[in-house]
A and B are shown apart, each in its own frame.
Chain A
Amino acid sequence: MGRIEDRFNELKKRNEKALIAFISAGDPDIETTKDLVLEMDKRGADIIELGVPFSDPLADGPTIQKSYLRALKKRVSLKKILKMVKELRHKTQIPIVLMSSYNPVYRYGENKFVRDAVSAGVDGVIIPDMPPEESGYLWARSYRKWLNTIFLLAPTSNDERIKLICKMSRGFIYYVSVTGITGERKLLSKDIEGMIKKIRQSTDLPLAVGFGISTPQQAKEIASCADGIIVGSAIVRIIEKHALSKNGLIGDVGDFIKSLKNAIRHE
């Protein structure tokens, strides 16, 4: 069994929900990203999602776009990120998932990517602009090597697509809570629970909800109906605030992770 599956099983036994924490790899630099991963692990994150910086991320709002640009200025690449994960594996066994646009993965070479990701200790990959229809090559190679390909479902997905994605996704399913791009939102959609119930009828995989969740209160609300919540832009904003000086960055991110985990611990 893989680290992702193990983690969801442990949480289930403890009647807990998963906190999936997203940061952009290499923002503000690779060394700090490593420290952030270890801190988030220590303070209660259950799965780490690392964004692979891309010049033109279509599903991302301004916060993550800007953080990708900061990382790209430091010349962060997929190669360097895989090397970083490999180094992190000496220190932590927390499940790590990469989130990347398709082009950097394609340019790296899909076959090589799967091989190198697995050997670095990456547990899963989310490629938002690669729907199941375009995933054939990568999916088949990932399946053989036990790399989880995690697909997205959205509020606009119809029954047919829900079935297709439940069949193809591995590890967990990423439910996009809003009809929109990533970024913090004051109000979350009311029909999340209804969609989650509907998706449950087609799969036994854990369902994680992301896009827009930015406060412990929102985390708590969503966690009541899902198996996990994904928080990204709200964490990246803390990193952005420390763009000029890293003083206090690690602790601030850690404190925020702790507040999120506390909010969903006993749901």
Chain B
Amino acid sequence: MLPDKKGHFGIFGGKYVIETLMPALDELEKAYHEAKGDRAFHRELHRYLSEYAGRPTPLYFAKRLTEKLGGARIYLKREDLCHTGAHKINNTLGQLLLTKRMGKKRVIAETGAGQHGVATATAAALFGIECEIFMGEEDIERQALNVFRMKLLGAKVTPVSSGTKTLKDAMNEALRNWITTVRNTHYVVGSTAGPHPYPMMVRDFQSVIGHETKLQIIAREGRLPDYLVACVGGGSNAMGLFHSFYNDRDVKFIGVEAAGYGLNTDHHGASLARGKLGVLHGSMSYVLQDEDGQIKPAHSISAGLDYPGVGPEHGYYKSTKRAKYVSATDKEALNAFELLSKTEGIIPALESAHAIAYTSKIAKKLKKDKIIVVSLSGRGDKDVNQVAKMIGVKL
């Protein structure tokens, strides 16, 4: 079972952080292992997931979309129906319960699209814990609604003006803040990225997605799906969906990265397709970087995929060919955003629209008896303003 004791998935992962944080990571790892073996912790988490976050989320057969594409049967795992509108709450509830267990009084988090920020602020409000969210200035502009939601939830939102002013820089600043406040603060990393134990822990908390999917698809179709499709920025919703199927070798995993303006431009977020091995934010994985190892800025229409790194376990899946990683451009994502809205009455998050975009490409080429499950990781309300602006509609 990966990762190994030091947090490595093959050559990926690890703990590349300054000494100041090492004891906190050790403490977190220990607390997490204890919680993992504690039934009371699981019961409590389960209670919050079902009574508060609204789990299990439905596995919905997208009949009209399936008919329109004329190929494989498409199911949507409706993480958009979770409380706060995305899968992020699965992880923040787990980590906030852990924060309480460790006796820490404050949490911090980075956010790109604002979904993880909102989910952290929500769980912090639920447990009465002080919360500060770091968010790039450019994302604050793109996601004004989520900024206001976080503030309503009692969180302090700190704008980050360094670097590209997006998710990468928000994570830099959150880590710097953690180096200073580590004695009383827990850092709620929002993706399967960062130093060990985060990639493992976030994966475990998100695995509820795949676990439910497995039971639901068997109940519905009497068999496992042929394909699982999910968007990959840092990679938490994808890993959450994939992980429970790891040993089911006939189930193919497809991760969809952001191709931005196109993979052959310098404006995309496809770390797995175009990155090289390196260390960003505490772990070894694929990173968009230049010859000298300087991190290159990423680009995506969706703030949540606008990240030059990717979780280490995805790096491992790529190198062992357990998963296939593809990409969808900004334009394809926008088309998918409209397609799903019009055919199913579901407005997807721009992140999830990348998964829909690739699904619509392959579904039509597949036979009608094939099954695809797509992770609809979040709802698109947060993106409506941005999309209107992009297609030239004044609200």
Contact = CB atoms under 8 A, between A and B. Distances in A.
A161 interface: yes
A104 interface: yes
B295 A107 contact: no
A103 B6 contact: no
Contacts of B276: 107
Interface in A43-98: 54-56, 58-59, 61-62, 65, 72, 77-79
A131 B22 contact: yes
A77 B292 contact: yes
Given A131-B15, A179-B183, A107 B6 contact: no
A191 interface: no
B130 to A, nearest CB: 18
Contact of B280 (A56, A61, A156, A161): A56
A176 interface: yes
A143 interface: no
Q: Mostly helix, strand, loop or mixed at chain B's interface?
A: mixed
Assign chain A's interface to a size class.
Answer: 35 or more
A249 interface: no
Interface stretch (B59-67, B150-158, B172-180, B245-253): B172-180
Chain B interface bracket (under 10, 10 to 19, 20 to 34, 35 or more): 35 or more
Given A56-B163, A156-B183, A181-B180, A107 B175 contact: no
B3 interface: no
A107 B291 contact: yes
Interface string A158-173: 1001000100000000
A161 B18 CA distance: 13
Interface in B146-166: 162-163
A179 B179 contact: yes
Nearest to A66: B162
Interface of B: 6, 14-24, 162-163, 168-169, 172, 175-176, 179-180, 182-183, 276-282, 287, 289, 291-295
Interface of A: 54-56, 58-59, 61-62, 65, 72, 77-79, 101-108, 128-131, 133-134, 151-158, 161, 165, 176, 179-181
Of all A-B residue pairs in the complex, the 10 with the closest CB atoms, nearest first, are A107-B293, A154-B20, A104-B293, A180-B180, A77-B292, A152-B19, A55-B294, A103-B293, A154-B19, A55-B295
9 contacts: A59-B176, A101-B279, A104-B292, A104-B294, A107-B292, A108-B292, A133-B15, A157-B22, A179-B182
